[in-house]
Amino acid sequence: MARGHLRRGVQGTGGSSVERHAGLLDVWIGALSAIGIHASRLTIHGDVEVWQRGLVSGITLFCDCDGRAVSDAVLLWHTADPSRMASDIGSGLERLRWLLSSRSWAETTFGPVTQYCSVDVLDAVRAATFLVMSGVRPGRQGAGYSLRRLLQRIPPSVAAAGLGRLVRQQRGYWAQIGVTGSEWPQVSMTIEDGVLVQERGQASRRSP
């Protein structure tokens, strides 16, 4: 029944592209099985009604493993020319590692440091480290504004005590996947100073 909905969704372009998408999804399930996530643990679900965002239309299916989200499969096409189609199927490597482990998401992602810091802080430090390594500095617009928002999730007391160990760990994470940029002491100082500057600004506005 889902395939029938898909064929109507692509506005009469024929079943070849839809069948190719289904074939790619089958390949993805086979890849998951090869790394130890057997097909019997998977559930595929979703709404096959067509969505539209700007010039693009599509449908999205979701794949769960043991009730936990593992990936999605998106078939999308140019609304004005449905013959221009593409499949987007995949999942994050960390999520796959988590599903293969017996540990919590936090410990799988950040290691034993989760005993001392909240996941929200660790996640903010990881994202901020990436931005600073990429040359971004706190600002009022664009990527600089995104960095400022991230820094608001890091408690000033933590930044004042020093983020060196956390930044060093996260810089190592990004370096392993090919991200280059400043060494960890410079990255740590930029993040710490960014947090404390914002705190001083907020404190001055609170003052009578």
Query: Would you call 64 helix, strand, or coil by DSSP?
Result: strand
| Residue range 35-44: mean pLDDT, rounded | 91
Lowest mean pLDDT: which of 18-22, 48-52, 73-77, 147-151? 18-22
Tokens of 159: 């930044």
Specify which residues 52 forms β-bridges with. Answer: 57
Average pLDDT, the chain: 86
Scored b (16 or more CB within 10 A) or e, 116-130 reads ebeeebbbbbbbbbb
The conformation of residue 152, written as its DSSP 8-state character, comes to T
Cα–Cα distance, 131 to 71 (Å, whole number): 25
Cα–Cα distance, 174 to 30 (Å, whole number): 29
More confident: 59 or 3: 59
Lowest mean pLDDT: which of 56-60, 172-176, 180-184, 202-206? 202-206
Contact (Cβ atoms closer than 8 angstroms) between residue 20 and residue 87: yes
pLDDT band at residue 14 using 50, 70 and 90 as cut-offs: very low
Q: Residue 161: is it exposed, middle or buried by C-beta count within 10 angstroms (0-12/13-18/19+)?
A: exposed
Instruction: With a cut of 50, say whether residue 25 has pLDDT above it.
Output: yes
Instruction: With a cut of 60, say whether residue 5 has pLDDT above it.
Output: no
More confident: 204 or 110: 110
Residue closest to 42 by CA, chosen among 22, 20, 72, 21: 72
| Residue range 102-129: mean pLDDT, rounded | 90
CA distances, 186 to each of 32, 131, 182, 189, 190 (Å):
39, 13, 6, 5, 6
Instruction: With a cut of 80, say whether residue 11 has pLDDT above it.
Output: no
Contact (Cβ atoms closer than 8 angstroms) between residue 183 and residue 204: no
Convert the pLDDT of each residue in 85-99 to its tens digit: 999 988 888 888 888
Q: CB-based contacts of 104: which residues, under 8 Å, 6+ apart?
A: 114
pLDDT band at residue 12 using 50, 70 and 90 as cut-offs: very low
Give pLDDT, residue 183: 95
Instruction: With a cut of 70, say whether residue 46 has pLDDT above it.
Output: yes
More confident: 161 or 103: 161
Secondary structure (DSSP) of 109-140: HHGGGGGTS-HHHHHHHHHHHHHHHTT----S
pLDDT band at residue 61 using 50, 70 and 90 as cut-offs: very high
Q: CB-based contacts of 117: which residues, under 8 Å, 6+ apart?
A: 158, 166
Convert the pLDDT of each residue in 67-79 to its tens digit: 888 899 999 999 9
Convert the pLDDT of each residue in 159-186 to its tens digit: 999 999 999 999 999 999 899 999 999 9
